Amino acid sequence: MATLLNLSDSDHSGLSDQSVSTRSSNRSLRIAEQERRKNEAEDPFVLALKYFSEVEAGTPVTGNDELENNLVRVEKVAFSRGLSPEAISIMLDFAMSLRMGSSPCARVLKCLLPASVVPQEAVVRAIVWLTVRKLPTSTQVLFIKWVLTVFDMIDAKDKLRAIYGFIFSFVTDENLCPFICHLLYLLTRKENVRVFRVRKLLEQQSKLGRQPYLLYLLSLYKVFCPELVTLSIPSRMKSGFKNHISPWKSALIGVQRRNGVQVASGISLAFAVRDKTASRKRKHAHLELPPLSPVTIKEPQAAQGSSRKLVPMQQVQSFAQLLQNMHRIELPAQMGSLLGSSLALQYLDCVQDESALLRLNFWLGYALHEEFLFCSDGGANKNPEEALQFLNRLLSAQHFLQEGFNSSDAFLFKFLNVWDGSLLRPQILGLLSNIPVIPSSQIKALLFDPLMQLFFTSSLFFKCGLIECLNHMLLKWLTWHSAYALEDDLDISLNSHTSINITLSGFKDSVMELVHFVGRLASLGLQLEGCHSLLLSFILDFYETVCDTFLKFGLPLVVMPPPGVFYPAFFAADPISVDRLAFIMHRYKVNLTSAKRQEKVTEQAFHISRQTFREFNRYQVFLVNCLWNSNMCYPEAEVRLSDELLAQSGVPQFSTRFDLIHHPAFVSYALDFHHKCWPGRKDTDLNSIKQTKPWSWYLEYLFTQGFDGLKDFLQNNISRRVMMAGDRREDGTQSQELESAPQIKQPLLS
């Protein structure tokens, strides 16, 4: 068996791999080569091939033992390892030239199993033999079937394409026609489609009746030249060409498995007439994506010359092909079809043609209007499944392109007025979050009024969803701004998408409107839902975006949360909300200080209103006083209750109830800390944590619990001195010191 190893490429490489792996020297390689040559000369298989290439025409077949023996040798190799390109060439030539008559022909064809590739020349020569010699019909068919089977393994196709007309002439042969059509289907290029060929095929059609193979070939012709031929493939015929692999299948798979090549996948020919789902009967045609089909009627001036070179989108099957043909891709007849394929979406991203996008928008807008607004046949309520699919597809396209289509924006503005807030909620909110910046003069009527109504009449989950959606919307607006804004050109047209030029100040106004709107929704929403922590969490998400507008997105705008958001977040019983609030306040401070610094440095300053600083300071003082100073009732507090009222409540030391120890969100941590700190103690006295050492330990403990927001906030706002000051504290003076010391670092921003 070792002697056979050299016969195919993969074996050859296997040999060299072996020698490399044994790290043998050059010398041993040379010896191996010599050995190989020597073996080759004596190899019975090589001798057999020699026999077939040299055997004279007219040698008798019957009783020819030599032929039999040689053929057996070749078959043995073929079925075990496959044949090398040269072997295939020799054997094919032997068979098709009928040098020994037609009887061994079929047998030879059946063993032509390529180990690697099939040389193109051999196939071309064999096709030429097909016309010269009189092969029995069954053998002719077998040969074409073989070509179809190994088609993907033929090393090049240019010469085969060059004899397209020659191959085409076989379609008149009734027996070969089905297979020739298949072969032509694989070879056809745009330049091959000619009127006379169309006529010839139609002639065959009238002779043979409606045959799928003629139809498939003609359908490809239609793709290239829809102006020449038209047809409609009935649904029962939509399967495509048959595979003709059967005579070789098991042997070929065996050879390929042994050689470790994966060509088999290429053998099954895909014939994509339409995707499967389309064959399902649809009641609602408007939600169906149009098929990817080429333009039928070309512009007269484009018909000549240039259009010859255009590649229909339908013919582009891979990303590599797309890249190659980027400059000459012909848009499909219906732009809506681009949404259906991910490859086409890639292309859509580069399309610069205004009309093309308008076409797409007309179609999309039409589909959305018909389905959700006009509801001509029941609408989305009747067929939620299809509507869902459609919107998901639209959303994924928008995510891919990272922007919305303006027809879907136009649709949404109308739809929000009639939406019940539950129909396809995730999808509609998803689309909504893709809406581009709206001028502040129109934002109320288009967006806020309908959303406000929906918000107050819907469930908690809708409220959460909407806040999340508005957060995404804001993020997209800000990202867009940070990508396109220019420092020295403040008067840019921010959103050419909408062809309304928004200046930077206009953009700021819109963002501010949006943030204020969410602030209003959030305050009232928290009241309505009893400060539900889920809703609060979504609201804090939103403010995490808002507090960083300046540093993260370069937008000179800082908007503080309204009290209706700030206080519920602070008084929340879960530590996460308080922690996030502290983080948000920390980021606000960082943003404001850097804005302030930049205002001083650069001349073209933007102005952050005093009101904003005042609001910030008020919150800041409150936080520090409550959490750190244990003094909720300081004189300037915004929220004040009369002391008598608080005294009536019976809560002892009400002023300290919201410090880091007694705050309902942290009290469990304080208790836990207490146990750990004084394991032996029977009676729990949380106030003992306030002593200097335990206090700093307690802070450490809290920070290790993952309260990073709190950590950032405290470390940046409580001056080092005070943090350290704890060390000097004496038990007795502690409370006074906490009350009296100006614990807030420096003067606050103003």
Question: How far lies 631's CA from each of 589, 617, 658, 709, in Å?
Answer: 22, 16, 8, 21
Sign of CA pseudo-dihedral 158, 160, 165, 171: negative
In 516-608, where do the E strands start and end? none
Q: What residues numbered 123-142 form the site for another protein, per CB under 8 A?
A: none
Shortest distance in whole angstroms from residue 390 CB to another protein: 14
Shortest distance in whole angstroms from residue 192 CB to another protein: 16
Query: DSSP 3-state assignment of 453?
Result: helix
How large is the C-alpha radius of gyration of the chain? Answer: 40
Distance between terminal CA atoms of the chain? 91
Token pair belonging to 430? 């998803």
Per CB under 8 A, the list member of 370, 468, 599, 708 interacting with another protein is 370
CB nearer another protein, residue 242 or residue 286: 286
Mention every residue, 6+ apart, whose C-beta is less than 8 A from residue 565.
519, 522, 523, 526, 539, 543
CB nearer another protein, residue 47 or residue 492: 492
Q: Which residues pair with 744 in a beta bridge?
A: 718
Rounded to an integer, what distance in angstroms lies between the CA atom of residue 535 and that of residue 565? 11
User: CB 431: neighbour CB atoms within 10 A?
Assistant: 23
Per CB under 8 A, the list member of 355, 503, 715, 740 interacting with another protein is 355
CB nearer another protein, residue 499 or residue 736: 499
Per CB under 8 A, the list member of 43, 75, 330, 409 interacting with another protein is 409
Binding-residue pattern over the window 465 to 504 for another protein, x denoting contact by CB under 8 A: -----------------xxxxxx-x--xx-xxxxxx----
Sign of CA pseudo-dihedral 143, 144, 147, 148: negative
Binding-residue pattern over the window 653 to 682 for another protein, x denoting contact by CB under 8 A: ------------------------------
CB nearer another protein, residue 258 or residue 298: 298
Q: Which residue has the tokens 């004899």?
A: 163
Q: What residues numbered 528-557 form the site for another protein, per CB under 8 A?
A: 550-554, 556
Q: Is 746 among the residues that bind another protein (CB under 8 A)? A: no
Q: Which residue has the tokens 């044949």?
A: 83
The closest of 38, 27, 5 to 259, measured between CA atoms, is 5
| DSSP run (H or E) holding 16 | helix 9-21
CB nearer another protein, residue 128 or residue 302: 302
Strands 329-330 and 311-312: parallel
Rounded to an integer, what distance in angstroms lies between the CA atom of residue 415 and that of residue 579? 39
Shortest distance in whole angstroms from residue 249 CB to another protein: 29
Shortest distance in whole angstroms from residue 476 CB to another protein: 13
> 280 with 309: CB under 8 angstroms?
no
CB nearer another protein, residue 335 or residue 572: 335
Considering only the stretches 264-272, 422-430, 590-598, 657-665, report the one whose residues sit in contact with another protein under the rule CB under 8 A.
590-598
| DSSP run (H or E) holding 329 | strand 329-330
Per CB under 8 A, the list member of 42, 601, 635, 648 interacting with another protein is 601
User: CB 730: neighbour CB atoms within 10 A?
Assistant: 9
Q: What residues numbered 47-76 form the site for another protein, per CB under 8 A?
A: none
The closest of 738, 730, 745 to 631, measured between CA atoms, is 738
Rounded to an integer, what distance in angstroms lies between the CA atom of residue 569 and that of residue 88? 79
CB nearer another protein, residue 101 or residue 554: 554
CB nearer another protein, residue 249 or residue 497: 497
Enter the DSSP assignment of 331.
P
Considering only the stretches 95-103, 118-126, 388-396, 403-411, report the one whose residues sit in contact with another protein under the rule CB under 8 A.
403-411
Shortest distance in whole angstroms from residue 570 CB to another protein: 27
> 543 with 561: CB under 8 angstroms?
yes
Binding-residue pattern over the window 619 to 658 for another protein, x denoting contact by CB under 8 A: ----------------------------------------
Per CB under 8 A, the list member of 319, 374, 400, 456 interacting with another protein is 374
Q: Is 239 among the residues that bind another protein (CB under 8 A)? A: no
> 122 with 90: CB under 8 angstroms?
no
Q: What residues numbered 420-449 form the site for another protein, per CB under 8 A?
A: 438-439, 442, 446
CB nearer another protein, residue 2 or residue 196: 196
Angle (nearest 5°) at CA 168 between 165 and 169: 95
Rounded to an integer, what distance in angstroms lies between the CA atom of residue 478 and that of residue 482? 6
Query: DSSP 3-state assignment of 211?
Result: coil
CB nearer another protein, residue 42 or residue 487: 487
Shortest distance in whole angstroms from residue 210 CB to another protein: 4
Shortest distance in whole angstroms from residue 666 CB to another protein: 29
> 178 with 211: CB under 8 angstroms?
yes
CB nearer another protein, residue 384 or residue 554: 554
Q: Is 25 among the residues that bind another protein (CB under 8 A)? A: no
Per CB under 8 A, the list member of 321, 334, 688, 705 interacting with another protein is 334
Per CB under 8 A, the list member of 17, 35, 353, 574 interacting with another protein is 353
Per CB under 8 A, the list member of 335, 451, 539, 540 interacting with another protein is 335
Token pair belonging to 188? 């056809």
Rounded to an integer, what distance in angstroms lies between the CA atom of residue 111 and that of residue 117? 15
Q: Is 401 among the residues that bind another protein (CB under 8 A)? A: yes
Q: Is 411 among the residues that bind another protein (CB under 8 A)? A: yes
Shortest distance in whole angstroms from residue 60 CB to another protein: 49
Per CB under 8 A, the list member of 36, 76, 414, 618 interacting with another protein is 414
CB nearer another protein, residue 213 or residue 628: 213
Q: Is 400 among the residues that bind another protein (CB under 8 A)? A: no
Q: Is 585 among the residues that bind another protein (CB under 8 A)? A: no
Per CB under 8 A, the list member of 35, 86, 275, 349 interacting with another protein is 349
Q: What residues numbered 173-232 form the site for another protein, per CB under 8 A?
A: 198-199, 201-202, 205, 210, 212, 214-215, 218-219, 222, 226-232
Rounded to an integer, what distance in angstroms lies between the CA atom of residue 10 and that of residue 12? 5
